[in-house]
Structure 1
Amino acid sequence: MKLLFKLLFCCGLLISCSTSKKNVVTVDGSENQWPMSGGPDGSWKVETALKVPTKWSVRTGENIKWKKSLPEGGQSGIAIWDDKIFFTINPPNDDPKYSKDSELKGGASSKDIILLCLNANNGETLWSKTVKGIIESEYNYGFSDATTPTPMTDGNHVWAINASGGMACFSMSGNLIWKRTWQPIPVTPNRPFNKQFDSILFKDLILNVEPAEENDSVRTTEWNYLHAFNKITGKRVWVTKEAVTNYNTPVLGETHDDKPAILIGRGGPHSVPERPVGLSLINLDKENQGDALWNWEPNDKNNISGWGALSTQHWNKEKASWFYEGKSHLTIDTKTGELISQNNMRTVDINKYDTLAKKYKLLKNVEIKDFGSKYHYHYHCNIQVENDVYFMGLYNPFVKRHNMVNGNTEYLEVPEEINETGGFVWEKQSNDGLNSQGQLHSSDNRTRGGGFQKCFLGSPIMINNYIYFTNALGIVYVIDSNAKKLDESAIVAINDLGERGKTWTVNSLSYANGNIYHRTMKEIICIGK
């Protein structure tokens, strides 16, 4: 444990590495900016020569540049361009009021969301705009709400997507350029989506996952597809023939011959309709843009194979990643769309923290037998780093790593919380679920669960060789992807985003110009020196 504390408190404040590499999907002029959910090139990764904080605490004020209370919660990531930041919240709502005395249960909903523009240097509100939607949607549902998609910006305009069925374009000073509405597929009343999709900006296009148009005679009207819109006019340019599950998060990238493409997936629980289960690599090059370069289908039925569509669909020029319910991992050749390998993920090495001995112990070749065991095989919040796939446990506090070449799977137990003296808390925790006004506007009690719970946590991002994972309680784990073993030496820092038991978040952090930006249900935070 001495090594762990040495890493956490003495490893140094800052990291520095090489300048970010530009590829064919990088937003023009976006070096040191964060133009959309996945960063400059949509990969959720960035390389920078600027110094970036790895250690901070909102509770103590360590390396907190500024923070600002928000009038209502929301789930979007944060887009940044120069001295402006953009994110969305739900509209403030005083009905119902929360009262501990009356034990009034929470619940609020709206068709609309609010796009906020703040000064990136001090948090001052510059302007706010309403983005209209179609379906009344519950606030702060643990599996997404209307504010889930991150705004996008190219430094000239900013775009916001309302997952309840709206989209709008504004100038950087807040003037409306265009707006449109669309009809999401309703799942249940006030929860029209379980939506992991996030925003994508590519060249002159805004990409969004929506159902087929009513008059479409080619596509199935009850299915979702990837739609491309002209970013200046808002007019639809093309729609994929291949469907995409609304759980799925498509990811931009470059093919083996340096052409732009995007990977989409189908499948998953709760009777998602889109078929066939599997992956499609969609061409984004000018010729035949929107067509599939290849399609891949697994051999097994959806209840086993479809879980890969719950992923942020990471890939590189050689490999794409697909999970079989966390029990096995499949690697797909991104040149051909053919299966490369299928590896067992139920025999794992576990670095578990012994709370009595106060040190980590390595458990070799542990057999993960079933869902109800103390070590679960389910995966969550993934990112691909060369031949490794990193992800978090869904129900238990583990960061995990699977090697796509040798098939090794490692679990590293992490604390769920940090206590009042700076020590780590290894037991299950909870939070109050309140916004900054003391209101309980989420009626789903799973929102108030522990840091590793049944909800959609924000995707991790990678800055240089460090991966930043965030749990629902606002604890951020910084993991060194260069670590030879996934043990305590891989932990660079464990940071907080707010008070214990009073902090909740399901969005990803963003990085720009040497600062990290993050948010909770209560406030937005700028992390920097």
Structure 2
Amino acid sequence: MPFKIAVFTLLILISSNTQADWMRFRGPNGSGVSDEKQATPTKWSDQKNLMWKAALPGPGSSSPIIVGDKVFVTCWSGYGLNRNNPGNQKDLRRHLICLNRQSGKILWDKTVEPVLPEDVYTGMFAEHGYASHTPVSDGKRVYAYFGKSGAVAFDLDGNQLWQTIVGDELDPRRWGSSSSPILYKNLLIVTATAESEALVALNKETGKEVWRQESTGFNATWGTPILVPIDENRTDLVIGVPYEIWSLNPDTGKLRWYCEAMPTETYCSSVIAHDCIVYGIEGRGGGSIAVRADGKGDVTKTHVLWSGRDANRIETPIIYQGRIYFFSRGIANCIDAKTGKRIFRGRLDKGDAEIANNREEQSESRSGRGRGGFRGSDYSSPVIADGKVYFVSRSGETYVIKTGDKLEQLSVNRLTNENEDFSATPAISDGKIFIRSDKHLYCIGKKDT
């Protein structure tokens, strides 16, 4: 990679990883990779290496973010806590929670009232609910997105600065929305695919709309876009949509290039990128692709490096040292980023099968948040730190495998035997791992022994 591009890439990573912060979905530029030098724990339980456990005021599947000495996460309350008796939508409240990262103490809890009518809490929507978008921060403010209730900005002390509605539609499938907002320069970019079939850029200082790119092609898109540096003068905003991958100018929202991709009518995961190459691995329809990101117009015949039939389900894959790791139905997969060829594939060891089976039975029988049409699917995306891949299953097992050319599982860890839903992606900062369920936020770190 040319020196100027390398420097520019480094600047993007630094801006999103200041002081070991983890300030958006999947950390530095959505990579999921922590480049810190601190050792992270390999083994933990409710008795070992658990620094603290904080009860949350409501469920959610959004991921935590770390900003200085604070942890932020979103939840919801008041409605949609039970499939059989969801309650009244007027009582729905979205929460942005701020916790002390050292103790887990809740410092403040700000609520946002709903814009009605909302998606009914039933069917597939109940898989993730009303707090599935991970917040993002620039180190001075924190921004949350709550679907029809809009994007909301707060300062780090919990003072609301603005709120902007970006769309009032409901997803035709009644699956809701889950894409997380990201920051670029002075813009907050919101993926409002369910609410307006659009990407919308807001001025992060005022909340005023700067640009909007609408397209019916955004329908059935749930991934979060990433920023891909092309050279010192160009950065692309890239997102996977049904059947294609799109790249836009993040300053204007105008389409730069597009590529025919996997034959899937929905795109649930996010694309990833490294060294000006974008990779996608999707789930429902299956398929994988690698495409150079420096093109213009239709690059299907000119920039595709390889394509395959890998399947990834819901979670986003991760790239590290030339290997792409992804997980599907209890199987760990690794492919070569340069060729797309398989490096390894193997089943993860659940450890205590009796406990795992009991937990699965509890999950299937519960009357509250259920598994719906994707029963058995995991939503959390893998993250990497200290040469280890961390992957959290929906039933609460965190698998730790060593990065490399063979499947080497180091451990499987559980924090609770209670019935909790672990759909969020972990955050990593200063050697600590922050894992959220629908009931608690956990902080794991190496304790002195």
TM-score (norm 2): 0.83
Contact kept? 2:291, 2:306, Cα under 8 Å: no
Contact kept? 1:24, 1:260, Cα under 8 Å: no
1:86 equivalent to 2:86? Answer no
Contact kept? 2:145, 2:181, Cα under 8 Å: yes
CA displacement, residues 248-277 of structure 1 (integer Å, 9 cap, x when unaligned): 32122322557432211221xxxxxxxxx3
Partner of residue 311 from structure 1, selected from 263, 269, 273: 269
CA displacement, residues 355-399 of structure 1 (integer Å, 9 cap, x when unaligned): xxxxxxxxxxxxxxxxxxxxxx55442223354322111xx3111
Specify whether residues 48 and 259 from structure 1 end up closer, same or farther in structure 2 by C-alpha distance, changes over 3 A only: farther
Partner of residue 368 from structure 2, selected from 437, 441, 456: 441
Contact kept? 1:432, 1:502, Cα under 8 Å: yes
**SS class of match (2:169):** coil
Give the Cα–Cα distance (whole angstroms) in 1 for the partners of residues 260 and 110 of structure 2. 43
Give the Cα–Cα distance (whole angstroms) in 1 for the partners of residues 254 and 167 of structure 2. 24
CA displacement, residues 151-194 of structure 1 (integer Å, 9 cap, x when unaligned): 22222211111124322111211111111234343236xx7444
Contact kept? 2:271, 2:281, Cα under 8 Å: no
1:278 equivalent to 2:244? Answer yes
The match for 1:502 is 419
Partner of residue 324 from structure 2, selected from 374, 378, 389: 389
Partner of residue 238 from structure 2, selected from 240, 256, 263: 263
1:178 equivalent to 2:178? Answer no
Specify whether residues 496 and 447 from structure 1 end up closer, same or farther in structure 2 by C-alpha distance, changes over 3 A only: farther
Contact kept? 2:334, 2:345, Cα under 8 Å: yes
Give the Cα–Cα distance (whole angstroms) in 2 for the partners of residues 429 and 94 of structure 1. 22
**SS class of match (2:263):** helix
The match for 1:329 is 288
Higher helix share: 2
Specify whether residues 339 and 196 from structure 1 end up closer, same or farther in structure 2 by C-alpha distance, changes over 3 A only: farther
**1:412 to partner: Cα distance:** 1.3
The match for 2:253 is 290
**1:343 to partner: Cα distance:** 4.6
Give the Cα–Cα distance (whole angstroms) in 2 for the partners of residues 497 and 516 of structure 1. 12
**SS class of match (2:372):** helix
Give the Cα–Cα distance (whole angstroms) in 2 for the partners of residues 74 and 233 of structure 1. 27
Contact kept? 2:17, 2:23, Cα under 8 Å: no
Give the Cα–Cα distance (whole angstroms) in 2 for the partners of residues 282 and 94 of structure 1. 36
Give the Cα–Cα distance (whole angstroms) in 2 for the partners of residues 440 and 171 of structure 1. 38
The match for 1:8 is none
Give the Cα–Cα distance (whole angstroms) in 2 for the partners of residues 63 and 235 of structure 1. 44
Give the Cα–Cα distance (whole angstroms) in 1 for the partners of residues 384 and 233 of structure 2. 22
Give the Cα–Cα distance (whole angstroms) in 1 for the partners of residues 60 and 359 of structure 2. 22
Give the Cα–Cα distance (whole angstroms) in 2 for the partners of residues 95 and 264 of structure 1. 32
**1:480 to partner: Cα distance:** 2.2
Q: CA RMSD in A?
A: 3.3
The match for 2:202 is 229
Partner of residue 111 from structure 2, selected from 126, 130, 133: 130
Give the Cα–Cα distance (whole angstroms) in 2 for the partners of residues 62 and 258 of structure 1. 49
Unaligned segments of structure 2, at least 5 residues: 1-8
Partner of residue 222 from structure 2, selected from 224, 247, 262: 247
Give the Cα–Cα distance (whole angstroms) in 1 for the partners of residues 410 and 231 of structure 2. 33
**1:308 to partner: Cα distance:** 7.8
Q: Partner letter of residue 44 of structure 2? A: W
Give the Cα–Cα distance (whole angstroms) in 1 for the partners of residues 139 and 208 of structure 2. 21
Q: Partner letter of residue 167 of structure 1? A: A
Q: Partner letter of residue 294 of structure 1? A: W
Partner of residue 99 from structure 2, selected from 118, 137, 140: 118
Q: Partner letter of residue 334 of structure 1? A: A
Specify whether residues 94 and 429 from structure 1 end up closer, same or farther in structure 2 by C-alpha distance, changes over 3 A only: closer
Matches within 5 A, 1:485-496: 485=406, 487=407, 489=408, 491-496=409-414
Give the Cα–Cα distance (whole angstroms) in 2 for the partners of residues 403 and 292 of structure 1. 29
Contact kept? 1:326, 1:345, Cα under 8 Å: no
**1:117 to partner: Cα distance:** 1.0
**1:233 to partner: Cα distance:** 0.4
**1:76 to partner: Cα distance:** 1.1
1:466 equivalent to 2:366? Answer no
The match for 2:187 is 205
Contact kept? 2:135, 2:180, Cα under 8 Å: no
Q: Partner letter of residue 473 of structure 1? A: S
Contact kept? 1:72, 1:521, Cα under 8 Å: yes
Give the Cα–Cα distance (whole angstroms) in 2 for the partners of residues 428 and 332 of structure 1. 43
CA displacement, residues 71-99 of structure 1 (integer Å, 9 cap, x when unaligned): 32111111211221111111156987xxx
Specify whether residues 464 and 229 from structure 1 end up closer, same or farther in structure 2 by C-alpha distance, changes over 3 A only: farther
Give the Cα–Cα distance (whole angstroms) in 2 for the partners of residues 419 and 95 of structure 1. 29
- Corresponding residue pairs, total: 422
**SS class of match (1:23):** helix
The match for 2:442 is 525
Partner of residue 32 from structure 1, selected from 16, 20, 31: 20
Give the Cα–Cα distance (whole angstroms) in 1 for the partners of residues 171 and 222 of structure 2. 12
Contact kept? 1:252, 1:263, Cα under 8 Å: yes
Contact kept? 1:133, 1:181, Cα under 8 Å: no
Matches within 5 A, 1:41-190: 41-58=29-46, 61-92=47-78, 105=84, 107=86, 110=89, 111-134=92-115, 135-137=117-119, 138=121, 141=125, 143-187=127-171
**1:22 to partner: Cα distance:** 3.3
The match for 2:336 is 403
Unaligned segments of structure 1, at least 5 residues: 1-20, 97-103, 213-221, 268-276, 299-303, 347-376
Percent identity of equivalent pairs: 23
The match for 1:418 is 352
**SS class of match (1:41):** helix
The match for 1:480 is 402
